C-alpha cells in the first residue's frame, strides 16, 4: 500500500510538470503569434533594404501599430499624417532659424565692429575699414563664432522638439579603421566628381555672364586669419555641421522613409552653403554622409569623412600657392586616391545600397513633407537666397 501511494504521487507530480510545460509552450506560441500579428514598431514597413532601428519608435507617429492584427494602410490617416508633418515642420523651422539667426548675428556683429572701429578712427575711410576687417582674422572669426552658435543651439533645440537623445548620435555600429579608410577614399572620389560637375556647370553659366565662383580674394590674408580659417574648416565646421545635419535633421526627416531623408538632408546641406558651387559639392557628398550615418546609426563616421575631405581640400589650397610642381604631385596623388575610391565605392554599393522605398513609405515621405508649410517654405527661401546672391554678385 505504501509503495502504491508513493507511485501515485510520482505520477501526479509528473503529470503536473507536463501540464505546466504544455501551458508555458502554449503561452509562448500565443505570444509569438501575437508579436507576428503586430507590425514591428522599429521596422513598421517591413522594408528589408532599410537600416533597422535608425528611424526610432514608429508607435509615436502611429500608436495603432501596437494593436494586434493592425496593418498599416497604404495612405496615412489624419493623425499619422499630422504627426509626420510635425517632424517635417521641425526640419523646416530648423533651416529657417539657421538662415535668420546666422544672417542676423553675422551682419549685426560685423556692423558693430565697423561702427566701433569708425569711432576709434574717426578719420579712417569706410572702405579701408571694410578691407581691414575682411583681410584680418576678424571676418573669419565672426563667421566661425556665428556658425558654432547656430549649428549647436538650433541643433539642440531641434533635438528637444523631436525628442532625440544625445547618446543616439554617437552609438556606432560595425565601424572600424578599415571602414573609415574605405569611406575616406570614397569621399575623395565624390569630391573629385563634384569638382568636375562644378566646372561643367560653371562653363554653362559663364556663357550667360554669371560667375559661380565666389570672390574670396583678400579674405583672411594674415597668418592669424588663415590659422582661424583652417581650424574652422578642418575641425569646427565638420563637427558642428554633422551634429546639425546628420545628427538632428536627418533623424527628424527619417521617421518613415530613409531614402527620402537621405536626399532631403543632403539637399538642405547643399542649400545652406549659399552658392551654386558649394551647393553641388555639399549635396553630392551629403548623400554619402547621410547614407553612412543611417547605416552605422551614428555621426562618428560622417564626422571622420567630413574632416578628411576638408583637410585634403585645405592642403590642396595651400599647396596651390607654393609651386606648380607641388600642385602636379598633389593632383597625381589625388587621382590615385580617386581611382581607389572607385573600387571602394563599388564594394560599398555591392552590399550597402541606398534604401529603396515601399509604396507605403512613398506616401509618407515627400508627398507629406511638401504639405508642411515650414518645410516647403525653407526650401523656397534658400533657393531664392542663392539666386539672389548670384544675381547681385554678377
pLDDT tens profile 326-363: 778 888 888 899 999 999 999 999 989 999 999 999 99
Residue 46 domain flag: no
Residue 146 domain flag: yes
Question: What is the pLDDT confidence band of residue 180, given thresholds at 50, 70 and 90?
Answer: very high
* Total domain count, the chain: 1
Residues 6+ apart with CB under 8 A from 90: 158, 161, 162, 252
Residue 9 domain flag: no
Residue 179 domain flag: yes
Q: How far is CA 156 from CA 122, 148, 160, 169, 249, in A?
A: 42, 12, 6, 12, 11
Question: What is the pLDDT confidence band of residue 117, given thresholds at 50, 70 and 90?
Answer: confident
Has residue 214 got a pLDDT over 80?
no
Cell of 318: 595651400
Q: How far is it, in rounded angstroms, from Cα 305 to Cα 39?
A: 36
Query: pLDDT per residue over 236-294, tens digit each?
Result: 999 999 999 999 999 999 999 999 999 999 999 999 998 999 999 999 999 999 999 99
Question: What is the pLDDT confidence band of residue 1, given thresholds at 50, 70 and 90?
Answer: very low
Predicted local confidence at residue 34, as pLDDT: 46
Has residue 33 got a pLDDT over 70?
no
Residue 70 domain flag: no
Has residue 389 got a pLDDT over 60?
yes
Q: How far is CA 50 from CA 64, 116, 294, 356, in A?
A: 21, 55, 9, 7
pLDDT, average across residues 21-48: 70
Residue 1 domain flag: no
Is there a contact between 102 and 150 (Cβ–Cβ < 8 Å)?
A: yes
Question: What is the pLDDT confidence band of residue 318, given thresholds at 50, 70 and 90?
Answer: confident
Has residue 321 got a pLDDT over 50?
yes
Question: What is the pLDDT confidence band of residue 67, given thresholds at 50, 70 and 90?
Answer: confident
Which residues lie across from 40 on neighbouring strands?
A: 43
Q: Is the pTM of this model over 0.85?
A: yes
Rounded to the nearest integer, the mean pLDDT of the chain is 88
Which residues lie across from 43 on neighbouring strands?
A: 40
Question: What is the pLDDT confidence band of residue 133, given thresholds at 50, 70 and 90?
Answer: confident
Has residue 381 got a pLDDT over 80?
yes
Residue 108 domain flag: yes
Q: How far is it, in rounded angstroms, from Cα 24 to Cα 89?
A: 48
Predicted local confidence at residue 119, as pLDDT: 83
Supply the range of the domain harboring residue 182: 82-393
Which residues lie across from 120 on neighbouring strands?
A: none
Residue 187 domain flag: yes
Query: pLDDT per residue over 158-169, tens digit each?
Result: 999 999 999 999
Phi, psi of 61 (to 5 degrees): -90, -40
Amino acid at each position: 500500500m505504501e509503495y502504491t501511494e508513493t507511485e501515485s504521487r510520482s505520477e501526479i507530480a509528473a503529470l503536473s510538470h507536463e501540464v505546466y510545460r504544455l501551458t508555458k509552450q502554449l503561452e509562448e506560441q500565443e505570444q509569438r503569434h501575437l508579436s507576428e500579428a503586430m507590425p514591428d514598431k522599429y521596422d513598421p514597413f517591413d522594408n528589408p533594404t532599410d537600416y533597422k532601428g535608425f528611424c526610432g519608435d514608429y508607435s509615436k507617429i502611429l500608436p495603432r501599430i501596437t494593436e494586434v492584427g493592425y496593418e498599416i494602410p497604404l495612405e496615412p490617416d489624419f493623425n499619422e499624417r499630422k504627426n509626420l508633418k510635425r517632424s517635417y515642420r521641425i526640419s523646416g523651422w530648423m533651416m529657417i532659424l539657421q538662415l535668420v539667426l546666422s544672417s542676423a548675428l553675422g551682419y549685426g556683429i560685423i556692423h558693430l565692429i565697423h561702427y566701433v572701429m569708425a569711432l576709434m578712427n574717426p578719420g579712417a575711410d569706410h572702405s579701408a575699414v571694410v578691407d581691414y576687417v575682411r583681410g584680418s582674422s576678424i571676418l573669419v572669426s565672426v563667421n566661425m563664432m556665428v556658425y558654432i552658435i547656430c549649428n549647436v543651439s538650433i541643433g539642440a533645440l531641434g533635438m528637444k522638439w523631436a525628442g532625440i537623445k544625445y547618446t543616439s548620435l554617437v552609438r556606432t555600429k560595425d565601424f572600424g579603421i578599415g571602414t573609415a579608410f574605405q569611406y575616406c577614399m570614397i569621399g575623395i572620389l565624390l569630391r573629385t566628381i563634384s569638382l568636375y560637375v562644378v566646372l561643367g556647370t560653371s562653363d554653362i553659366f559663364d556663357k550667360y555672364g554669371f560667375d559661380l565662383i565666389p570672390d574670396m580674394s583678400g579674405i583672411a590674408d594674415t597668418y592669424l586669419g588663415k590659422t582661424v580659417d583652417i581650424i574652422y574648416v578642418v575641425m569646427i565646421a565638420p563637427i558642428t555641421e554633422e551634429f546639425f545635419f546628420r545628427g538632428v535633421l536627418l533623424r527628424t526627416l527619417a521617421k518613415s522613409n530613409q531614402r527620402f531623408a537621405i536626399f532631403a538632408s543632403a539637399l538642405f546641406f547643399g542649400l545652406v552653403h549659399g552658392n551654386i558651387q558649394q551647393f553641388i559639392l555639399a549635396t553630392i557628398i551629403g548623400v554619402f554622409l547621410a547614407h553612412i550615418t543611417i547605416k552605422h546609426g551614428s555621426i562618428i563616421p560622417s564626422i571622420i569623412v567630413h574632416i578628411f575631405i576638408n583637410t585634403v581640400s585645405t592642403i590642396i589650397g595651400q599647396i596651390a600657392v607654393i609651386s606648380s610642381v607641388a600642385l602636379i604631385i598633389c593632383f597625381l596623388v589625388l587621382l590615385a586616391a580617386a581611382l581607389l575610391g572607385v573600387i571602394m565605392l563599388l564594394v560599398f554599393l555591392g552590399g550597402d545600397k541606398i534604401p529603396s522605398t515601399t509604396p507605403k513609405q512613398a506616401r509618407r515621405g515627400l508627398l507629406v513633407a511638401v504639405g508642411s508649410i515650414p518645410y516647403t517654405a525653407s526650401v523656397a527661401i534658400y533657393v531664392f537666397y542663392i539666386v539672389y546672391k548670384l544675381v547681385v554678385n554678377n
